Amino acid sequence: MPATDEVQEIFSDEDVRCVKNGSPSQSDDEITDVRNISVVFEKPSADFKNVPSRDVHEDFFRKSVDLIMKEAVFKSTSSNGKVLDWHHPRELLRLFDFGLSEKGSTHEDLLKLIGDTIQYSVKTGHPYFVNQLFSSLDPYGLIGQWLTDALNPSVYTYEVAPVFTLMEEIVLREMRQIVGYPHGKGDGIFCPGGSMANAYAISCARYATNPDIKKRGLNGGPRLVLFTSEDAHYSVKKMASFLGIGTDNVYLIKTDKVGKMDTSHLVDEIERALGEGAKPFMVSATGGTTVFGAFDPLEKIADICEDYGLWFHVDAAWGGGALMSSKHKHILNGIQRADSVTWNPHKLLTAPQQCSTLLLRHEDILSKVHSTNASYLFQKDKFYDTRYDTGDKHVQCGRRADVLKFWFMWKAKGSEGFERHVDKVFDNARYFTKIIKERPDFRMVVDHPEFTNLCFWYIPPSLRGKDSNFDFNERLHAVAPKMKERMMKKGSMMVTYQTIKGLPNFFRIVFQNSGLEYYDMVHLVEEFEALGHDL
Amino acid sequence: MPATDEVQEIFSDEDVRCVKNGSPSQSDDEITDVRNISVVFEKPSADFKNVPSRDVHEDFFRKSVDLIMKEAVFKSTSSNGKVLDWHHPRELLRLFDFGLSEKGSTHEDLLKLIGDTIQYSVKTGHPYFVNQLFSSLDPYGLIGQWLTDALNPSVYTYEVAPVFTLMEEIVLREMRQIVGYPHGKGDGIFCPGGSMANAYAISCARYATNPDIKKRGLNGGPRLVLFTSEDAHYSVKKMASFLGIGTDNVYLIKTDKVGKMDTSHLVDEIERALGEGAKPFMVSATGGTTVFGAFDPLEKIADICEDYGLWFHVDAAWGGGALMSSKHKHILNGIQRADSVTWNPHKLLTAPQQCSTLLLRHEDILSKVHSTNASYLFQKDKFYDTRYDTGDKHVQCGRRADVLKFWFMWKAKGSEGFERHVDKVFDNARYFTKIIKERPDFRMVVDHPEFTNLCFWYIPPSLRGKDSNFDFNERLHAVAPKMKERMMKKGSMMVTYQTIKGLPNFFRIVFQNSGLEYYDMVHLVEEFEALGHDL
């Protein structure tokens, strides 16, 4: 194929020279052979030369783990430290020894690299990292993840992953029960991120429309159209394109001021697609939008899907965790009617990255949609019940055991622990909203947020009372980027900003760390004021 | 949507009752509040009640890590232990406390669960786990993974993952250099498994054929056809279906006896597709097939792709690691001409699960194919050079930092460490082949294997010299499943079996653990003989 157009590269030749051969030291000492052998195990006999020594590895392990626990686990999650130590990319290329070379490094050098990696990384477990739909470092989640890594499994057959195979089924069943599927029955899969979960949903919906698509593809059939709101996560469009449906065939439905899907516009758009001779097949509603944290009216959408025979998907990647709280789960009323649900425990429930699920009301559908019956992996003459081999349900082949960390958290806290966690972060969000509403220098974008992401403007002194000025919006638009720059360079907190619906840039703060208290809310508010007081 | 047909469930009602409320104990002692709070950090003040105590967490961390290191890292990788402790699914459901409940568990209970998880899991780091295209537990890889987990990043923007963003670019560039792309230029991405990497390749190839497909989808255009060998990994077909192309439009090309693609059949099939009015767009060649370990003739296939203007992809998920060895890299001659290459460091190079890459010769193509410019994440008014925000290149949104563990291994061993590792496993495979050829009770499926997966039959006493018997093949077919059952119940090793090309079931052993020595080869051979001596 012809090469695509060249673009200006982000790495200049000078950058490249700078990172090459970065690691300065390697001595041909006795531990060289240990480093070059990719295994940790004791030999049955000591008669062999150059045998990796368990002692050398164990010593390095202990030192590394001590360093990681001290610096990355405890220090990085303390509110006394900085959230980040900011450097521009080219600076960081010079500060950090990224370079790869022929020779290996000493254990001493490697320990320094661990320290540097921690220093220059953003502390996503810091209480004031409130920038994304994930944060916190759950101790039980982390131990579960470390255990998974040490066991290094891949989940496709029962024979190589017996514990994880059953654990997935049990956790998925429990989650389906919580969603409200009768007796927790149905299907489900852990997948690498909510975007992939949404992709699986599209794939199942497409199959439900016409199973022949699995074999024959989309070519030659009707034009498929799916519907989602203009505030839905971008993965719906992205995955529709990836799956060959095309971004043009994702019809975006208007949202109201608080970000909920306008169901009368949904009906109009379904009718439009039908009028065009296309085949509507799916509505992807959102339970907790990325920016406003809005919940689409699920019951109404379920009715419409029933009327038109459409697959009803709920992307509750972010909001799904609210189902753990009897006080707050009502915001997802109607989700029990969904054909499929995306729910990421790594978001509201703070499981480590990544822990995402797709849950389905239909039994055994994933395997019908995705199986290819590879004979080398899914032999039917095995001596155990091969219905436990779940690998042909998904498209990944090798797949990480993302279940263990979440299951371990669940064991540690119990369902009531998750409930308390969810109630706490809702309460914090309500408190934060209350205090910024009382202050003249903040203004809410959505007045009564339903969820724990809160969108607001900081109105700096120079703009207060100037709402009617012709350039008010334009000047306000420039405030958030400027404050974000200061915030990052100071490292005091991390909060994202964005513009949607043509609004001037506003901040979006996200709470999912139940270790934060009211005084942290006050601290965050005061930090905004400190960053913007002279603008 | 109507529910899909009910199938007999793998969990009976009795099973479900058995796992519910499994965890017996929870006392309302003082650490309850610690378990329910999802964060580890020190409070600025001690005036608050129910504050999570760092000491309690630290104590649990230390005990857990000690247990994981002792049992999962060191004991599980020792050849003295068993590879697995086999139980049928329903037995395991009764032995292991899977159940989730309202109340949490004590730290003591949690430590027991860690121990049980290790006990009942397959030891994939055991020297005699030679069952899959991954094995070993690399100590540097594991430390790199643990560090990644503690930092819990998601790689989409430079601002939240500065170190990992640059590290990915550096490692991908180095890998492209090793593939043979001029100056290491091009594009690339770390993705969750080789199947996903192959999916990205199909997505890019499709875009290169017609960029409008991104927006308009496959509907209404020509029927796209891709070509891969009958021995290629099943993900090519699976992903063609997922991407809307359909499994029927994957034309399978015959392979010769050793598993290499028959290029004259490839030309015939391309001509057939053209004759049918379809649009051939891609050939996916394989560098190291899953079963035989065969390498397709890449130079010839590159010529054909040039002639017909097709995208040339090489799925070297398994074989790519051979490029690290100057002695063995010739088996991938021609790979430098590929438009895209899948290469999984978690296979031959033993990086922890998962570490997969797609490498491309074309600069900036991933972003053209997959970008949707989500305004809340990829703001263009940031204060740094946003070309470093790589998140819009891929389809995942949140994405794990799979690079660190591999980079850390590379730092530890140097390129020469990887080279020695690769040479060692090739050498072991040669030795294993030599010794089984000398024995009358083994027969090779492929006489001169190119790679480190070796396929062979064990011919039990009752079948020796009976080749001409009418039921020889049928009886031989039953031998491997029987031996596998014994092997698993004994827990002495783990080797897979399968049938392809209508051959009777044969074993496939895979070497990628460079800690194994010649005496381990002898041990493995003798273990086969012990398992089959009375058949």
Q: Using alpha carbons, select from B169, B291, B502 the residue that is nearest to residue A9.
A: B169
Distance CA B355, CA B375 (A): 29
Tokens of B114: 């860690």
A76 touches chain B (CB under 8 A): yes
Residue that has been written with the tokens 């697959």 in this structure: A311
Q: Do residue A38 and residue B513 have CB atoms under 8 angstroms apart?
A: yes
Residue partners of A373: CB distance under 8 A and separation at least 6: A392
Q: Which of residues 207-246 of A touch B (CB under 8 A)?
A: 208, 213-224, 233-235, 237-246
B112 touches chain A (CB under 8 A): no
pLDDT digits (tens, 9 = 90+) for A423-432: 999 999 999 9
Distance CA A448, CA A434 (A): 10
Instruction: Please state at what angle helix B139-151 crosses helix A54-67, rounded to 10 degrees.
Output: 10
The Cα-based distances of B379 to A198, B79, B148, B158, B475 in angstroms read 24, 53, 26, 12, 65
Predicted pLDDT at A46: 36
Predicted pLDDT at A435: 97
Distance CA A92, CA A122 (A): 13
Per this entry, what is the length of chain A?
A: 535
**Which residue blocks in A253-353 are alpha helix, DSSP H?**
263-275, 298-308
What is the full DSSP assignment across A114-163? HHHHHHHS--TTSTTB-SSS-----HHHHHHHHHHHHH----S-TTT-HH
Tokens of B71: 């049992």
pLDDT digits (tens, 9 = 90+) for A413-423: 999 999 999 99
Supply φ then ψ for residue A495, to 5 degrees: -135, 135
Q: Do residue B4 and residue A362 have CB atoms under 8 angstroms apart?
A: yes
Cβ(B511)–Cβ(B525) under 8 Å? no
Test mutation, B23, B151, B216, chain A, max A CBs within 10 A: B151
What is the full DSSP assignment across B147-186? HHHHH----S-TTT-HHHHHHHHHHHHHHHHHHT-GGG-S
Q: Do residue A412 and residue B105 have CB atoms under 8 angstroms apart?
A: yes
Distance CA B480, CA A379 (A): 11
What element of type H or E holds A284? Answer: strand A279-286
Cβ(B382)–Cβ(B375) under 8 Å? no
What element of type H or E holds B478? Answer: helix B472-490
**Which residue blocks in A371-469 are alpha helix, DSSP H?**
403-437
Distance CA B42, CA B53 (A): 8
The Cα-based distances of B476 to A386, B259, B401, B483 in angstroms read 22, 22, 46, 11
Residue partners of B377: CB distance under 8 A and separation at least 6: A234, A496, A498, B156, B157, B389, B391, B397
Q: Using alpha carbons, select from A165, A73, A345, A58 the residue that is nearest to residue B146.
A: A73
- The count of CB pairs under 8 A between chains A and B is 676
> ipTM value of the model?
0.93
Predicted pLDDT at B2: 36
A503 touches chain B (CB under 8 A): no
CB contact burial A475-501 (16+ within 10 A = b; e otherwise): ebbebbbbbbeebbeebbbbbbbbbbe
Residue partners of A275: CB distance under 8 A and separation at least 6: none
DSSP state for residue B432 in the 8-state scheme: H
Cβ(A392)–Cβ(A373) under 8 Å? yes
Query: How many CA atoms does the CB half-sphere of B199 hold within 13 Å?
Result: 30
Instruction: Please state at what angle helix A54-67 crosses helix A107-120, rounded to 10 degrees.
Output: 20
What element of type H or E holds B434? Answer: helix B403-437
Q: Which of residues 257-286 of A touch B (CB under 8 A)?
A: none
> How would you write the pLDDT of chain B (535 residues) with one tens digit per residue?
433 333 345 566 666 655 654 443 444 343 333 444 444 443 333 333 344 456 777 889 899 999 999 999 989 998 889 999 999 999 999 999 999 999 999 999 999 999 999 999 999 999 999 999 999 999 999 999 999 999 999 998 999 999 999 999 999 999 999 999 999 999 999 999 999 999 999 999 999 999 999 999 999 999 999 999 999 999 999 999 999 999 999 999 999 999 999 999 999 999 999 999 999 999 999 999 999 999 999 999 999 999 999 999 999 999 999 999 999 999 999 999 999 999 999 999 999 999 999 999 999 999 999 998 877 777 778 888 888 888 889 999 899 999 999 999 999 999 999 999 999 999 999 999 999 999 999 999 999 999 999 999 999 999 999 999 999 999 999 999 999 999 999 999 999 999 998 999 999 999 999 999 999 999 999 999 999 999 9
Query: Regarding beta strands B506-510 and B496-498, do their DSSP bridges make them parallel or antiparallel, or are they unpaired?
Result: antiparallel
Distance CA A337, CA A300 (A): 11
- For B526, other C-beta atoms within 10 Å of its C-beta total 12
Q: What is the largest CA-CA distance in chain A?
A: 86
Predicted pLDDT at A193: 96
A396 touches chain B (CB under 8 A): yes
B127 touches chain A (CB under 8 A): yes
Cβ(A535)–Cβ(A462) under 8 Å? yes
Distance CA B403, CA A153 (A): 18
Q: Using alpha carbons, select from B527, B494, B532, B503 the residue that is nearest to residue B134.
A: B494
Q: Do residue A244 and residue B218 have CB atoms under 8 angstroms apart?
A: yes
Residue that has been written with the tokens 């060249």 in this structure: A6
Tokens of A385: 């019940």
Cβ(B415)–Cβ(A100) under 8 Å? yes
Residue partners of A308: CB distance under 8 A and separation at least 6: A270, A280
Q: Do residue A164 and residue B121 have CB atoms under 8 angstroms apart?
A: yes
Q: Using alpha carbons, select from A114, A493, A130 the residue that is nearest to residue B149.
A: A114
Considering only CB atoms, A6 lies closest to which of B215, B240, B363, namely: B363
Give A363→chain B minimum CA distance, Å.
6
Distance CA B348, CA B133 (A): 7
> What SS3 state is found at B75?
helix
> What SS3 state is found at B64?
helix
The Cα-based distances of B367 to A3, A114, A200, B420 in angstroms read 15, 31, 22, 36
Q: Do residue A411 and residue B113 have CB atoms under 8 angstroms apart?
A: yes
Considering only CB atoms, B397 lies closest to which of A194, A218, A407, namely: A194
Considering only CB atoms, A515 lies closest to which of B38, B141, B242, namely: B38
A452 touches chain B (CB under 8 A): no
Residue A44 has pLDDT above 50, yes or no: no
Cβ(B325)–Cβ(B296) under 8 Å? no
Give B439→chain A minimum CA distance, Å.
25
User: Counting Cβ atoms within 10 Å, is residue A183 exposed (0-12), middle (13-18) or buried (19+)?
Assistant: exposed
Cβ(B199)–Cβ(A395) under 8 Å? yes
The nearest alpha carbon in chain B to A206 belongs to B244
What is the full DSSP assignment across A62-118? HHHHHHIIIIIIIITTSTTS-S-----HHHHHHHS-----SS---HHHHHHHHHHHH
Q: Which of the two residues, A397 and A175, has the higher pLDDT score? A: A175
Distance CA B407, CA A100 (A): 8
DSSP state for residue A336 in the 8-state scheme: G
Cβ(A193)–Cβ(A396) under 8 Å? no
Cβ(B393)–Cβ(B368) under 8 Å? no
Residues of A in contact with B515 (CB under 8 A): 37-41, 52
What is the CA A433 to chain-centroid distance, rounded? Answer: 25
Residue A17 — pLDDT band, cuts 50, 70, 90? low
Residue partners of B475: CB distance under 8 A and separation at least 6: B462, B463, B469
Tokens of B86: 């086999």
Q: Is B505 left (phi over 0), alpha (psi -120 to 50) or beta?
A: beta
A31 touches chain B (CB under 8 A): no
A488 touches chain B (CB under 8 A): yes
Q: Which of the two residues, A435 and B381, has the higher pLDDT score? A: A435
A196 touches chain B (CB under 8 A): yes
Residue A351 has pLDDT above 60, yes or no: yes
Considering only CB atoms, B41 lies closest to which of A127, A361, A364, namely: A127
Residue partners of B326: CB distance under 8 A and separation at least 6: B419
Residues of B in contact with A241 (CB under 8 A): 214-215, 217, 370, 372
Q: What is the largest CA-CA distance in chain B?
A: 86
Q: Do residue A517 and residue B48 have CB atoms under 8 angstroms apart?
A: yes
Q: Do residue B35 and residue A174 have CB atoms under 8 angstroms apart?
A: no
Tokens of A91: 């600076």
User: Counting Cβ atoms within 10 Å, is residue A502 exposed (0-12), middle (13-18) or buried (19+)?
Assistant: exposed
Cβ(B385)–Cβ(A10) under 8 Å? yes
The nearest alpha carbon in chain A to B310 belongs to A1
Distance CA B416, CA B251 (A): 40
